[in-house]
Amino acid sequence: MLFGHEHVKRYMETNGEVGHDWQGTTVLILTTTGRRSGLQRSTPLIYRRDGDDYVVVASNGGAEDHPSWYKNLSAGSEVELQVKADRVPARARDASAEEKARLWPYMAEVWPDYDSYQAKTDRPIPVVVLEPRA
C-alpha cells in the first residue's frame, strides 16, 4: 500500500500511473513551500474536481493539529498540483463557510473517514480549494 513519501515518489516517477487511483478514490500531489525551510514539500492528497477547481481536505487523520502542508500555506498560497502527468500552478484558499457546507459531504462521499476524523477533533477541519492558474 502506498503512503507518504513512497506514494509521492512512485506517483511522480510514473506520472500518476501508480498512485493516482488509490483505495477506491483519486489522489493528486500537492507541492507547497515550507514555511520555515523554504523548501518544496510534496504531499499525496485525495481530491475531487469542483468545476475547474480541485478540492482537498486538511484532515490530518483527525489529529488536533493541522497537517504540515496546510500550515505551509501560511507562507504563500501559490502551490503546484500534479494530477497524473499534468503539473499545474494553482492558488490555494480555504473554502468559504457556504462552500464547505456543500463540499464536505461531496468529499466524504469518496472518503467517509473524513466524518470520523472530524468527530475525533475539536479543530474544524479545513476544506481547501485549489484554483488552477493559466
Tens of pLDDT, residue by residue over 13-30, are 999 999 999 999 999 999
For residue 70, pLDDT over 80 is answered with: yes
For residue 126, pLDDT over 90 is answered with: yes
Sort 81 into a burial class: Cβ within 10 Å, 0-12 / 13-18 / 19+.
Answer: buried
Whether 125 contacts 118, CB under 8 Å: yes
Structural domain count of the chain: 1
Domain that holds residue 73: 4-132
How confident is the prediction for the chain on average, in pLDDT? 96
d(C-alpha 118, C-alpha 57), whole Å: 11
Please tell me the predicted confidence (pLDDT) of residue 75: 86
Please tell me the predicted confidence (pLDDT) of residue 95: 98
What does pTM read for this prediction?
0.96
What CATH number is associated with residue 51? 2.30.110.10
